[in-house]
Amino acid sequence: MRFSNPTNAALEKRIASLEGGAAALAMASGTAAISNTFLNLARSGDEIVAVKTLYGGSTTLLSSILPQYGITGKFVEDENDVSAYERLITDKTKAVYLESLGNPGMNVVDIEEIAKRVHRHGVPLVVDNTFATPYLLRPFDYGADIVCYSATKYLGGHGTVIGGLVVEKGGFDYFNGRFPQIEQFYRDYQDSIPEDELRQTLFTKRLRIVYLTDLGAHMSPMQAFFLLQGIETLSLRMERHTQNARQIASYLAGHPAIKEVSYPELPQSPYYGLTQRYFPRGPGAILSVRLKGGRDAALAVLKKVRIFDYMVNVGDAKSLIVHPASSTHFSQSPVMREAAGVYDDTLRLSVGIEDAADLIADLEQALDEG
Ligand SMILES: *Cc1c(COP(=O)(O)O)cnc(C)c1O
């Protein structure tokens, strides 16, 4: 049934334990996990503060869908300025939202410092940890309160599943006056759920009982089964993904046709320092490049690659490549796009677990102008 299912429950337990959280909820997709999280925290008249460098769908949700229901997304001007988040917080703010590895610029933010400042105002920090997975980063260790996943990516790992997960750290004080709807939920259920359990997992309980049940974005048990299998090899895959990405990033950084490589572990990256601190195992396997030859050169590479597949998905065991300006970020204005690090000459690579030398040879021939 939609409320719960043994296979989904096993998956929820597993992700909560990998993440170090008190509870989790499996949902139909990453998009469902994120949108239902916002709906659980905010009501008409409320605000959500977010970084600009988000997955395209999340930007659209905050900038044009939720506003139609009275919930306003307010975007931080400079996500590296840790006090910029606080400046946007008002008594209507119900969450601060960011991605642990931004898409597609792979920017890294100082989660711990931001969490500290956001908590001073009694606002929870919500982190989309899709690109990192708990293998590379556990946001709760740095003060996040809620973690969202598109399990469609690395957790599933094989491009065969659409799924989302929401994980709650537990212990956030929802009785600070900002969340009357959650307080009401507590009063409604305090006689039917043990006090400790209800308090510790209040966010997830309400998400499940109110939103999963009545908006219906539940995960099918078969998808949960595939995800449980995917997670069994997560550590092996992430290790290989990251090793390959490191090699490809340094290869591309030295290629004459490449204007710029965004991979936060490169010494020239503005995120190098934060990466050393937050991603000792490496900052994942997605990187973007800008081509000196502009949009045409970028599109030509897409046609020539043989091992890399031209696909908008990421986090697959297979290597994927995309031109974000004409696909994932197409619906955004050029200004929003560029704020997210997407230019006409940008290609985004999701490096798979194939042999690194084969991948480099493929890029070599695709970048060859002869
Ligand atoms: C893909 C993605 C989403 C959306 O997830 P779906 O499972 O495709 O709905 C959200 N956030 C990030 C970072 C993603 O890459």
Mean pLDDT, range 177-186, rounded to an integer: 98
pLDDT value, residue 338: 86
Long-range contacts of 339-343 (CB under 8 A, 24+ apart): 339/52, 339/53, 340/52, 340/53, 340/54, 340/56, 340/59, 340/102, 340/103, 340/104, 340/105, 341/53, 341/102, 341/104, 341/105, 341/107, 341/262, 341/288, 342/104, 342/105, 343/290
166, pLDDT greater than 70: yes
User: Mean of the pLDDT values across residues 13-25?
Assistant: 98
**How many whole angstroms from 150 Cα to the centroid of ligand 1?**
4
Candidates 194, 234, 212, 315; CA nearest to 14 is 234
Give the pLDDT band of residue 1 (cuts 50, 70, 90). low
Q: What are phi and psi of 259, to 5 degrees?
A: -80, -40
Atom from ligand 1 closest to the CA of residue 151:
7
Specify the ligand 1 atom closest to the Cα of 130.
13
Residue-wise pLDDT tens digits, 329-364: 888 888 888 877 889 999 999 999 999 999 999 999
pLDDT at position 370, please? 61
Give yes or no for residue 316 CB within 6 A of ligand 1: no
Q: Write out the CATH class of domain 6-231.
A: alpha beta
Which pLDDT score, from 0 to 100, does residue 60 have? 92
Q: How far apart are CA 276 and CA 279, in angstroms?
A: 6
Q: Whose CA is nearest to atom 12 of ligand 1?
A: 55
For residue 144, pLDDT over 90 is answered with yes
What ranges do the domains of the chain cover?
6-231, 233-367
pLDDT at residue 214, as a whole number: 92
Residues whose CB is less than 8 angstroms from the CB of residue 277 and which lie 6 or more positions away in sequence, other chains included: none
Q: How much distance in Å is there from the Cα of 230 to the middle of ligand 1?
A: 17
Nearest CA to ligand 1 atom 1: 150
Helices marked H in the chain: 6-19, 30-41, 56-60, 84-88, 111-119, 133-136, 180-189, 195-200, 202-206, 213-215, 221-232, 234-253, 272-278, 294-304, 334-339, 356-367
Mean pLDDT (whole number) for 106-122 = 97
For residues 57-61, give the mean pLDDT: 93
Average pLDDT, stretch 107-134? Answer: 97
Which of 52, 99, 100, 153 maximizes ligand 1 atoms within 8 Å of its Cβ, making it the mutation to test the pocket? 153
> 3-state DSSP helix/strand/coil percent for the chain, to nearest 5?
45, 15, 40
Residue owning the nearest CA to atom 6 of ligand 1: 30
Q: How much is the pLDDT for 269?
A: 94
* Position in ligand 1 atom list of the atom nearest CA 314: 15
* Ligand 1: nearest atom to the Cα of 162: 7
Average the pLDDT over 34-54 and give the result: 96
Ligand 1 close to Cβ of residue 315 (< 6 A): no
**How far, in Å, from the CA of 90 to the mean position of ligand 1?**
28
Is the pLDDT at 138 greater than 80, yes or no? yes
Starting at the earlier edge strand, list the strands of the sheet with 93-99. 23-27, 164-168, 146-150, 125-128, 93-99, 47-50, 72-75
What is the Å distance from ligand 1's center to 36 Cα? 14
CA 319 to centroid of ligand 1, rounded, Å:
17
| 161 has a pLDDT exceeding 70 | yes
Measured in Å, residue 3 CA sits from the centre of ligand 1 at 23
Neighbours of 295 (CB within 10 A): 15
* pLDDT, tens digit, 9 for 90 and up, residues 266-316: 999 999 999 999 999 999 999 999 999 999 999 999 999 999 999 888 999
What average pLDDT does this structure show over 162-174?
Answer: 97
Residue 39 has pLDDT above 80, yes or no: yes
Is the pLDDT at 104 greater than 80? The verdict is no
Would you state the pLDDT for residue 286?
A: 96
From the CA of 313, give the closest atom in ligand 1.
1
Q: Is 36 in the pocket of ligand 1 (CB under 6 A)?
A: no
Distance from residue 31's CA to the centre of ligand 1 (Å): 6
Mean pLDDT across the chain: 95
Residues 6 or more apart in contact with residue 145 via CB below 8 angstroms = 115, 124, 125, 126, 168, 169, 172, 203
The residue whose C-alpha atom lies closest to atom 7 belonging to ligand 1 is 30
CATH class of 233-367: alpha beta
30 lines ligand 1 (CB under 6 A): yes
Q: What is the pLDDT of residue 3?
A: 76
Identical fold for domains 6-231 and 233-367, yes or no, is no
